[in-house]
Structure 1
Amino acid sequence: MNETNAVTDQAQTWRDDFSRVLSPVFGSPQLDLVRGAGVHAWDASGKEYLDLLAGIAVNALGHCHPAWVKAITEQASTLGHISNFFTSPPQIALAEKLHEILDLPSGSAVFFSNSGAEANEAAFKMARRAGGGSRPIIIAIEGAFHGRTMGALALTAKAAYREPFAPGVPGVVHIPYGDVDALAAAINDTTAAVFIEPIQGEVGVRQHPAGYLTKVRELTREAGALLVLDEVQSGVARTGSWFAHQDPEIGEGVVPDIITSAKGLGGGMPIGATITVGDANTKLLEAGQHGTTFGGNPIACAAGLAVLETIETENLLAHTRDTGEWLTEQLLTIEGIEKVTGTGLLLGLELAEGLNEKAIVARALEAGFIINPVAPGRLRLAPPLIITKDDLAPFLTALPGLLHG
């Protein structure tokens, strides 16, 4: 048997094994990845890939960063799981670090969970609790993705995600993207909260029109409603700021009532955070009204603290901004890329008419590059924050051929 046939047989074996024992909810996996280091990953055949997706903006420090591995290993050898009856030094230290980087006022608080969807579920419950019976309505934006658990799913715009599970959680209203008049018409004294991503990720990395977030904040304050910023994908230095709303051009100086975070926060360990800002905490959840068995797990919190501290010590905020600006400039010189959206290392590539994003991704994978067909006619790049111009050079050289086949 030649080498090509052996690799093909091996791939078919793990695909058969997957379909035999795992849920089909994700479809057939593209690869059987077995190892990662830095910005690269390897499949079971030994083939190397440049990872330009980072587990969908999760692996902020890349694969197996020494500081991240050290933090997890040391914590696992000391204390693993303790439940939510107790706390631990990593949990407190990570919460303190989030207070610091967000410059939170007195009274702010962090609730740890295990994912972005869970973080948004907690925020959903906080909004309902704050609104009481007289404020049942929660507003979300067309194009939004907030998760797939039932509350978060109700906030997610794509009907194809929601309709198989109807009837969903009631009281959620979706308004058109970027439409200030629709926003003003929707917000009133029955509105509990507006959920919004500073940059919409799943629709193709889309930023709101200038002034829109400012108007959302103005209208929610006038109506007495909460503003919830979903920073699950855009947070943790992904845009070159700790959180996207802290970038003046994105956040416009807006201060939300609740921030949700996950993905890059754990650098590969499952963790989410729902962060209340100032006195918003005093009117939201009380003891016993919410919980999660694994939330604030010492190992996940140790990983999160290592991520945030490494971003500081390796100056990754500035590195992300600079690398993202350079990468955007390079991408715009390539025929077939009409527009680049996003900022830092969260970028959307708008393709020329006639180019098929799924075919491009398949060719890229064959060539050893992991990218994402995020929406029709659009690709998403969200590489590890440690990626360098030298790391990116082979991809940029190969990209014209990948686009046009």
Structure 2
Amino acid sequence: MGKRKIKVLSAISLGIILSISCSKLLPQLPTDDSILDGPVDGLSPEQNRIFLRGDFAFNDEVFTSSNGLGPTFVATSCGSCHAGDGKGHPFTTLTRFGQSDTLGNQFLHLGGPQLQSRALPGYKPEVLPAGATFSRFTPPANTGLGLLEAVPDATLIALSDVNDADGDGISGRPNWITLPSYTIIKTGAIHNNGKYIGRFGKKALVYDLLQQTANAYNQDMGINSSYESISTYNNLQVDPEIPNQTILDVVFYLQTLKAPVQRDQQDREVLAGKQLFIQISCSKCHIPQLQTGPSPIAAISNKTIFPYTDLLLHDMGPALDDGYTEGTALTPEWRTPALWGLGLSKNSQGGQVFLMHDGRARSITEAINLHGGEANNSRKLFQQLTESDKNKLIKFLESL
């Protein structure tokens, strides 16, 4: 064999050895079911570029006084409240105040509905006005939001039971809200005397992800856009501090984040826990399966999803009545949160879990035991389970 051929083979062999050695040194990529971030399947190359722009704006862009922050604010970036697109922590929990009934917020002239608890040097942060009722809202996970946005209004109407016609003690209903002027009403939207169905936020006060995003820039960071142009500091209209395209990129990013992937789906205890979840009627509000409708984004159009929510308001009883509300929701009413991704909550919450609207529950069991009102019966049935069955149900919820 010639020397040249020996050298070539040696180089190839060395490359293979180095490749194998380096692959052992490199960290393993996380599995898809262990993380919340990442795009849905089926995006086009151009859509992937928009997704990446939105990802950067959401997770990497940090605001300071030089690029529009404040002067009063809660956070300096989107990602600081949603680490890894997951739930927030008590340190990032927001305070909402000023509405104690369905007549509207009476403290808008005093900084409502959100407390800007931080301020730039030379400015003072807001304080709660005397007499204002309030509630604390822990930031939710972001994944799968576009799929929830694509569930048709007709589905939510079909799931609602305002007067409990079937007598099961559960009477979910939509929060009918007044839309901001910049809203693009979705095809197939249903209205009630000029009001439309809210589906995002703890009280379902937000219509779509454009409103959610524009509001978050404005209320959380004091960043004004052409969509939300009123300063949270002085209630005056100001020039945009962020381009519309950035807002739209973040909206697309949120619309196309993948749904959480359930783990251990064939585990016998997980399967038994799912049956217990259905048996004690948790699934009557936390609806396991929904179908999206037609969407301008083909990747989320007409998909079967498993979010475990009905996106409706339910009376959760006096223990969760903070005396504060939004829109036409009553003070003890809360929108059913999606349970998908629940088992990954601790990844973004410092290794612990902080559940319910304000993070007061420190475990899934504690969260279940806080359920009242329409969930009273389910809570009692859970408490009557054997310890073995309780563990199976919890194991199922942790698999989501």
Task: Determine if the TM-score, normalized by the shorter chain, exceeds 0.5.
Answer: no
Greater fraction of residues in strand: 1
| Structure with greater helix percent | 1
TM-score normalised by length of structure 1: 0.29
TM-score of the superposed pair, with normalisation by structure 2: 0.29
| Structure ID, larger Rg | 2
